[in-house]
A = this chain, B = another copy of it.
Amino acid sequence: MTYCVGMRLDRGLVFMSDTRTNAGIDNISTYRKLFAWEDTDDSVITLLTAGNLATTQSVVSLIEERMKAPGDRSHAILGLPSMYQVASLVGQTLREVISQHAQTGQKADSAFNASIIVGGQVKGSEPRLFLVYPEGNFIEAGEDTPFLQIGETKYGRPILVRAYDPGMSFEAAVKLLLVSFDSTIKANLSVGLPIDVQIYERDTLRLGKRFRVRADDPYFRTISTGWGEALKTAFDSLPDPTF
């Protein structure tokens, strides 16, 4: 399993992913699931991946290979005229990789499926955020659904729904996402630290701050402990029922 969230803010976009992968509970590894590229002053794209690791690594490798292919920019995700076309190309690539393995060769125990969150901005239009399905089609985050989750989405969702605010600062958004990730990590062994974070400030057309939160990160420990206490205080502040 995996947990990744892409979030739309008035100020831009925030992306967060865990790094744990597993094939059974006795085969656990750490892999990056957050990828970002920029074509300075022209476009900025971030990807978050969940699902079959062989599939998502192939997709990312293909995207990178095609970006660098000299003379053939027709399949490159940087340089496209809109984020819609970027999402569409990521969808095509994902579908291509899955169908390569799913339709021929050995049947696998688990599906080759994967989902991808794609977000970014292309010069001349707004920042946009999409969730690409294994079939290659996709949905876009909007005002009513301003964040997209993939992987183990349930444990961390209630706090996102309650505390999200489009006007919040990047700092508050990172704090909110860390609380959501902490709840998920506490409940599901297949989601684990370190956590990767990527920030994109709208209209800069350059990748913003990117950092990794490790288990020994003092701020993460403050949040993890502090949230437990804050929740207890919040809970105690509600009146008891009478019966």
Contacts and interface: CB of A to CB of B under 8 A. Distances in A.
Interface of A: 154-155, 157-159, 161-163, 169, 171-172, 174-176, 178-179, 183, 186-187, 209, 211, 219, 222-223, 226-228, 230-235, 237-243
Contacts of A232: 162-163
Given A238-B179, A238-B222, A241-B219, A231 B171 contact: no
Contacts of A228: 162
6 contacts: A162-B228, A171-B241, A175-B238, A209-B243, A223-B238, A231-B231
Given A157-B187, A174-B241, 6 more contacts: A163-B232, A171-B240, A230-B238, A231-B231, A233-B237, A234-B234
B237 A230 contact: yes
B174 A161 contact: no
Contact of A234 (B154, B230, B239): B230
Nearest to A176: B235
A204 B209 CA distance: 61
Nearest to A228: B162
A243 B163 contact: no
A234 B238 contact: no
A190 to B, nearest CB: 13
A242 to B, nearest CB: 7
Rank and list the top 9 A-B pairs by shortest CB-CB distance, nearest first. Answer: A154-B154, A230-B234, A171-B240, A234-B234, A158-B183, A163-B235, A162-B231, A226-B238, A219-B241
Contacts of A242: 171
A174 B238 CA distance: 12
A241 B161 CA distance: 21
A174 B234 contact: no
A230 B235 contact: yes
A206 to B, nearest CB: 16
Contacts of A227: 162, 234, 238
A231 B183 contact: no
A172 B161 CA distance: 24
Given A154-B155, A230-B235, A234-B233, A241 B187 contact: no
